[in-house]
A and B are shown apart, each in its own frame.
Chain A
Amino acid sequence: MANTISQPVRPLILGIESSCDETAAALVCGDRTILSERIATQEAEHAPFGGVVPEIAARAHTERLAPLVEAVLEEAGIGLRDVDAIAATAGPGLIGGVMVGLVTGKALAFASGKPFIAINHLEGHALSPRLDDETLTFPYLLLLVSGGHTQLLAVDGVGSYRRLATTIDDAAGEAFDKTAKILGLGYPGGPAVERLAARGDETAVALPRPLVGTAEPHFSFAGLKSAVLRAVQADPAPAPENVAASFQAAACDCLVDRSRIALDAMPEATAFVVAGGVAANRRVRHSLAALAGEFGLRLVAPPLALCTDNAAMIAWAGVEHFRLGHSDPLDTPARARWPLDPDAESARGAGVKA
């Protein structure tokens, strides 16, 4: 073809994400090309509050989403008539923001006469490794570790997920964020803790590894966070970099120990995949890679931009569903909670997150 822009490999899907504090839109093709992608983070708006404020998030999504959609279309040089379907996150997440993205997606689909596909945000994370790595096949074990979730999922196929474990209290990213707060590092805390930990001694401060060594499959991080708080109140106070390093090591031990139980329970897994914001952490990746090696598996960790919230993963989940002929009605509701595995029993105290 003479054109500089060649024909996109079908299907071509527009993805929309607005379930937390990132407003995002992306165009992704069947051959895994990301034609264009825009993401507007609200970090600065939420930073003064030390966490995401739902009403502020919803306001920002409302303001930014439509121009982002226009921008990705323009950048790719295509019109809505050229896309095959529109995929939008329908939950789980902060409901006010989810509604903005969902209604935007449904309105675009209606107005362009294209199918609408409602995506579970967690499924976006679960399938995102396949956007990055075409050799990754089902089934695989997924460790989803973000600020809102810490779950081990058996990914058997598109739309087929078994939750093997979840957190009974805090998410791992939340523990990083709270540790950062305790150490006065600001928000978001994960990257700050990792930077400080790089200079610390991870054996310097004794911290607990909640549930490690027990037969129950779930995660727990609340006790670790409380222990960090007690540790810094000691006299003399330990060096902050040692607290950060020791916390990070403890969190890694928890992730590894629980993942080992899941890998034992899933011998059919072809790979061990990690996704979510905490997967950006190098210490976490190293520990998990070593664990995968014990099982003769490779660790698949998508690039950082795909690990944190983004719209390319939503568009990609749209590609996977579109290929199976799936679409959703225009009255699809927004869901604050939407477990990927509807059969999963609620772990004690858990379920609150999804």
Chain B
Amino acid sequence: MRLAIGTAHRACSLALIDGSKVVKAVHEIIGRGHAERLIPMIAALLGETRPGSIVVEIGPGSFTGMRVGIAAARALGVAWDVPVSGITSTEVLAARAFRDHADLPEITVALDGGRGEVFVQHFTRDGGETGPPAAVPAEQAAIVGGAVIGTGTPMIVIPAHVRVLGTDMPDMADVAALIPPAGQDRPPAPLYVRAPDAKPPQR
């Protein structure tokens, strides 16, 4: 059984997955506060179950949120001595789009990246991601193909021919829809996309 942990966006999203079946899941929009909520929510979801592996959402998303999920996942991995891998926020949404729309050949994922930027990445059904995710100003975001999904969608001007397949944030239950090679064996390390703001603190 796999435990999927998603804290890179405003949800605290958890799923317990057996093969391609979701055994149990919880997806709560909590805004901030992942550092407080995450461990009790994992405890409630798991009960006595001990997962055999852990997959954690590595972004792109909120830096703080990503770090909370990754710190938790890696610590659980140490404690239970189970493998921990990473999954990107964009591929989780792409997996949902491809699962829900059998005719869909390609999808652009657009996530609200804060500061008026969106994180965009393009996927094809057959090849997975066609390049790395990028942070771009919302007005410059380009949609490749005929469909878009994600929280960044309302921030960008959508051409008439493009279908909007949802404005939701990633939900870890959709990890069950991911088929290899997507989402396999990424290290559980944050995908920051943006360089750190390197300003010394005001002491």
CA–CA, A42 and B49, complex, Å: 38
Residue in A105, A174, A330 whose CB lies within 8 Å of B203 = A174
CB distance from B137 to the nearest CB of A (A): 21
Contact between B200 and A55, CB atoms less than 8 A apart: no
CB distance from B64 to the nearest CB of A (A): 6
* B22 in contact (CB, < 8 A): no
Can you name the residue of chain B whose Cβ is closest to the Cβ of A352?
B203
Contact between B64 and A103, CB atoms less than 8 A apart: no
Contact between B190 and A62, CB atoms less than 8 A apart: yes
B65-101 Cβ-contact flags toward A at 8 Å (1 or 0): 0011011111111111000000000000000000000
Contact between A53 and B79, CB atoms less than 8 A apart: no
CB distance from B149 to the nearest CB of A (A): 28
**CB contact under 8 A between A331 and B40, given known A70-B78, A103-B75, A104-B75:** yes
Q: List, in ascending order, chain B residues with CB within 8 A of A147's CB.
A: 203
Contact between B203 and A104, CB atoms less than 8 A apart: no
Chain B interface: which of A44-52, A272-280, A338-346?
Answer: A44-52
**CB contact under 8 A between A103 and B35, given known A62-B190, A170-B203:** yes
Q: List, in ascending order, chain B residues with CB within 8 A of A55's CB.
A: 63, 196-198
Q: List, in ascending order, chain A residues with CB within 8 A of B192's CB.
A: 59
Using C-beta atoms within 8 Å of the partner chain, give the interface range for chain A. Answer: 35 or more
CB distance from B78 to the nearest CB of A (A): 6
CA–CA, A261 and B199, complex, Å: 38
Q: Which of B63, B80, B198 has its CB near the most chain A CB atoms (within 10 A)?
A: B198
Contact between A59 and B75, CB atoms less than 8 A apart: no
Contact between A108 and B79, CB atoms less than 8 A apart: yes
Contact between B78 and A108, CB atoms less than 8 A apart: yes
CA–CA, A348 and B68, complex, Å: 35
* B110 in contact (CB, < 8 A): no
* A80 in contact (CB, < 8 A): yes
Tell me the residues in window 26-42 of chain B with beta carbons closer than 8 Å to chain A beta carbons: 33, 35-40, 42
Can you name the residue of chain B whose Cβ is closest to the Cβ of A50?
B200
CA–CA, A105 and B63, complex, Å: 19
Contact between A104 and B63, CB atoms less than 8 A apart: no
Contact between B39 and A66, CB atoms less than 8 A apart: no
Contact between A106 and B39, CB atoms less than 8 A apart: yes
Q: List, in ascending order, chain B residues with CB within 8 A of A24's CB.
A: none
Can you name the residue of chain B whose Cβ is closest to the Cβ of A16?
B75
Contact between B196 and A59, CB atoms less than 8 A apart: yes
Contact between A58 and B63, CB atoms less than 8 A apart: yes
Residue in B74, B198, B200 whose CB lies within 8 Å of A104 = B74
CA–CA, A147 and B80, complex, Å: 38
Contact between A331 and B72, CB atoms less than 8 A apart: no
The 6 closest A-B pairs by CB, nearest first: A111-B79, A51-B200, A107-B75, A66-B74, A55-B196, A330-B39
Write 13 A-B pairs (CB below 8 A) sorted by A numbering.
Answer: A46-B200, A50-B200, A51-B201, A53-B198, A56-B196, A59-B196, A66-B74, A80-B79, A94-B201, A107-B76, A107-B79, A170-B203, A331-B40
Contacts A66-B78, A69-B75 aside, 17 further interface pairs with beta carbons under 8 A come to A46-B200, A49-B199, A50-B200, A51-B203, A53-B199, A53-B201, A55-B63, A62-B67, A70-B78, A80-B79, A103-B68, A103-B72, A104-B75, A105-B75, A107-B73, A110-B76, A331-B37
